[in-house]
Amino acid sequence: MSKVTVDSVSKFYGAVAALDHVSLTFEDGEFFGLLGPSGSGKTTLLRMIAGFVAPDTGSVSFDGERVDTVPVQKRGIGMVFQNYALFPHLSVADNIAFGLSVRSAPRAEIDRRVGEMLELVQLPGKGGRKPRELSGGQQQRVALARALITQPKVLLLDEPLGALDRRLRQEMQVELRQIQRRLAITTIFVTHDQEEALTLSDRIAIINDGKIAQVGAPQEIYEAPDSVFTAQFLGDANVLRGQPSGTRLTLADGSRIETNGPNAGIAIVRPEKIRIERGHRPPTGNGLQGVVAQAVYSGASVTYRLAVPATGDTPFLAFAQNQSGGVIAPGEPVTVSWETAQTIVVKP
Amino acid sequence: MTRDGARVWGAGLYLGLMLAFLYLPIVVMIVMAFNRSPLYELPFVFDLVWFKALATNDRLLQASFNSLWIALVTAAIATVLGMLAAYAFARYEFRAKRTLQVLLFPPITIPWLIVGTSMLVFFFWTGIGRGLHAILLGHVALALPYVIVVIGARFQAVDASLEEAALTAGASPWQAFTRITLPLLAPGLIAAALFAFAVSFDQFVISYFLAPPGVSTLPVEIYSAIRKGFTPEINAVSALIILLSMGLMLIVARFYKFGGER
């Protein structure tokens, strides 16, 4: 259980910065998600905290003590790898026991702790199996148990659920969260799956091009993204560009909308915040007129792509709850409207 | 006979011919080692006379002992050195890595006669000279490329993340190597050691060039014995070696499935 601090860390590969002066604090007991596209530097940051990558600038500290010169095996971390990295020649019990056995713990203690861990990850009685005899989800649990048995200060997860199918993944998310709460262990995990990041994390850092784009609680980042990148990476967003004048934004076709604060010519609105109505009506509040270009019916909801003169060639997205059972056909004129509060000012 | 029957019969005949072609000379040799006649004469009369003669043939015994000893030491040295090289190739990025990997192959394809000649000249020139030490050095150099290639192939099955996982669990790099990497590499190491042993034990040309008068290995001794006049003692020593090596192969094949997961 530890607070982890990275202070202005960078990693350069030649002229390319995988990480560019990144500073973050991971609070004690926090479940923290590092979210970003591939190549954004999120994995480099995780591996730097683990000790596999040495920072070119800055420092890594656990509870205020610098660890960037401490070798991996002395940092007191636990890590779950993307492919689980279970030792194929050892039984499940020996895999889990590994961290204690390299510390020459007494046999009786190892057996007791392995038993506890098998209980914790709900695999009692599976200790004698070989890893390859287990399903993907079970292997995942063994990897988690192996990482936790040494009672690490920090748990690091590299795309922990990436290899599982959707259903199993959701189950494992719940379980992972429960175990993390129970042990109150500082947990840092890397993912490119936005839904996973939103579901699991106490806080999220969005990473792009080796820099932190935004840090905050899931709801905070989703409801108040501060950049176009964050808005579009975490969920979908319609980007509105135009001439700024205080809280007013004049779009390409001359239509005016009000933003949730003084803007610099750019704002976003999330597709699920939009009302869509048939026909062209005079806009009340923020609204635009357009034509349905495509309607994708998916049962509970309908996704509309609209041709809206105000946004030029970029289709305008609207997610509608399927309340009437009908779908507005492509070619039909529509009016979309939304709250001023949902017109979120962002920096480009 | 049905067409399928004919096909099976044809395949069986083909297989039989192949096996006969491969093993018949060896079988004949072993059988003749137990025949009393020195001239492959029939009828077969069982006798251990050639084994008794072998037991008193000091030159042949000494040569066998040399060969065995050199092959064992070659296997040990080449496997350790080759494992280190394969580890570097598998785990690290360094300058000229590709070039070095490509340079592994020419020694395998260059005729041994040429390699032997160049070694003889080089050893003479550098003062290493001739003798068992020179033969050992030459054999290790010859075996290394094979060993590196065989162990390198096995490294494909040992993901680097396994060692990383061991480190994060608190193992020292040495513990990670001995407890994770080494056991997983074992089938490759054993295959490589066998390869090195075979390369050395079989080696004639280089041994012949590097052996000073009075010193020889088994292939060299057999060659000079045949030149002087064939004796069935050669059959006897060959029979022993064949049984030994086949036994070894069977034991290894029993415990390790080469290439696959254990």
Given B161, B164, B171, which is nearest A102 (Cβ)? B171
In a domain, B26, yes or no: no
- Residue in B172, B164, B171 with CA at minimum distance from that of residue A150: B171
- Comparing alpha-carbon positions, the chain B residue that sits nearest to A155 is B168
Instruction: Give B173's contacts in chain A (Cβ within 8 Å).
Output: 73
CB pairs under 8 A between A and B: 67
Q: Which residue has the higher pLDDT, B199 or A114?
A: A114
Chain B residues lying within 8 Å of A87, measured CB to CB: 162, 165-166, 180, 184
Domain spans, chain A: 4-223, 239-345
Which is nearest to B148 in space by CA: B114, B195, B115, B183?
A: B195
Cβ neighbours around A245 below 10 Å, total? 12
Neighbours of A60 (CB within 10 A): 24
Q: Which residues of A touch B189 (CB under 8 A)?
A: none
Least confident of A264-268, B216-220, B231-235: B231-235
- Distance from the Cα of residue A128 to its chain's centroid: 35
Which one, of A264, A284, A248, A273, lies nearest residue A342 by Cα?
A: A273
Residue B106's pLDDT is what? Answer: 83
Subunit contact A98:B184, Cβ cutoff 8 A: no
Question: Is B5 domain-assigned?
Answer: no
pLDDT of residue B262: 41
Residue B232: inside a domain: yes
The pLDDT value given to residue A146: 94
Residues of B with CB under 8 A from a CB of A: 159, 161-162, 164-173, 175, 179-180, 183-184, 261-262
- What confidence score (pLDDT) does residue B256 get? 58
What stretches of B92-111 show up as alpha helix (H) in DSSP?
A: 97-102, 106-109
Residue in A closest to B161 by C-alpha: A85
Torsion of CA A307, A311, A312, A314, to 10 degrees: -70
Buried b (16+ CB within 10 A) or exposed e, A203-221: bbbbbbbbebbbbbebeeb
Complex-level ipTM: 0.84
Candidates B168, B189, B257, partner chain A, best to mutate (most A CBs within 10 A):
B168
Q: Is residue B69 one of the residues assigned to a domain?
A: yes
Average the pLDDT over each of A153-157, B70-74, B235-239 and give the range with the smallest value: B235-239
Residue B124 has pLDDT above 90, yes or no: no
Question: Nearest chain A Cα to B261, which residue?
Answer: A88
For residue A333, whether the previous peptide bond is cis, meaning omega lies within 30 degrees of 0, is no
pLDDT per residue of chain A (348 residues) written in tens, 0 to 9? 589 999 999 999 888 889 999 999 999 999 999 999 888 899 999 999 999 999 999 999 999 899 988 999 999 999 999 889 999 999 999 999 999 999 988 999 999 999 999 988 888 888 889 999 998 889 999 999 999 999 999 999 998 887 778 888 888 888 889 889 988 999 999 988 888 889 889 999 999 999 999 999 999 999 999 999 999 988 899 999 988 888 888 888 888 888 888 888 899 999 999 999 888 887 677 888 889 999 999 888 999 999 988 888 889 999 999 888 888 989 999 999 999 889 999 987
User: Long-range contacts for A300-309 (Cβ within 8 Å, ≥24 apart)?
Assistant: A302/A327, A302/A328, A303/A271, A304/A276, A304/A328, A304/A334, A306/A276, A306/A334, A306/A336, A308/A336, A309/A252, A309/A253
Q: Are A97 and A107 in contact (CB under 8 A)?
A: no
**What are the Cα distances from residue A259, in Å, to A102, A244, A313, B119?**
60, 10, 22, 83
Residue to substitute from A46, A49, A73, interface B, most B β-carbons within 10 A: A73
Instruction: Using an 8 Å CB-CB cutoff, list chain A residues near B179.
Output: 98, 102
The beta-carbon neighbor of B167 closest among A73, A89, A150 is A73
Residue A189 burial (C-beta neighbours within 10 Å; 0-12, 13-18, 19+): buried
Question: Which CATH architecture best describes the domain A239-345?
Answer: Beta Barrel (2.40)
Nearest chain A Cα to B181, which residue? A87
pLDDT at residue B261 is higher than 70: no
Half-sphere exposure of A31 (CA within 13 A, CB side): 20
Among the partner residues B162, B172, B183, nearest to A85 by beta-carbon distance: B162
B162, closest residue in chain A (CA to CA): A85
A78 touches chain B (CB under 8 A): yes
Q: In this complex, do A102 and B262 lie within 8 Å of one another by their Cβ atoms?
A: no
How does DSSP classify residue B180?
Answer: I
The winner for highest mean pLDDT among A15-19, B161-165, B225-229, B257-261 is B161-165
Share of chain B above pLDDT 70, in %: 95
Nearest C-alpha of chain B: how many angstroms from A188? 14
Q: Which residue of chain B has the CA closest to A80?
A: B165
Chain B residues within 8 A of A52 when measuring between CB atoms: 164
**Averaged confidence pLDDT in chain B:** 85
Candidates 3.90.380.10, 4.10.910.10, 3.40.50.300, 3.30.465.10; CATH matching A4-223: 3.40.50.300
Burial class (CB in 10 A: 0-12, 13-18, 19+), B258: middle
Q: What is the CATH number of the domain that holds B82?
A: 1.10.3720.10
Residue B182 is predicted with a pLDDT of 92
pLDDT at position A1 is: 59
Q: In angstroms, what separates the C-alpha of A196 from chain B's closest C-alpha?
A: 23
- The pair of structure tokens assigned to B232 is 């069935």
* Domains held by chain B: number: 1
pLDDT at B258 over 70: no
* CB-nearest partner of B183 from A51, A89, A99: A89
A150 inside 8 A of chain B by CB: yes
Is the separation of the CB atoms in A222 and A234 below 8 Å?
Answer: yes
Among A345, A252, A233, CA closest to A290 = A252
Contact at CB, B168 and A156, closer than 8 angstroms:
yes
How close, in Å, is residue B160 to chain A by CA atoms? 9
Q: Which domain holds residue B216?
A: 52-255
Angstroms from B143 CA to nearest CA on chain A: 29
- Cα separation, A248 vs A108, whole angstroms: 71
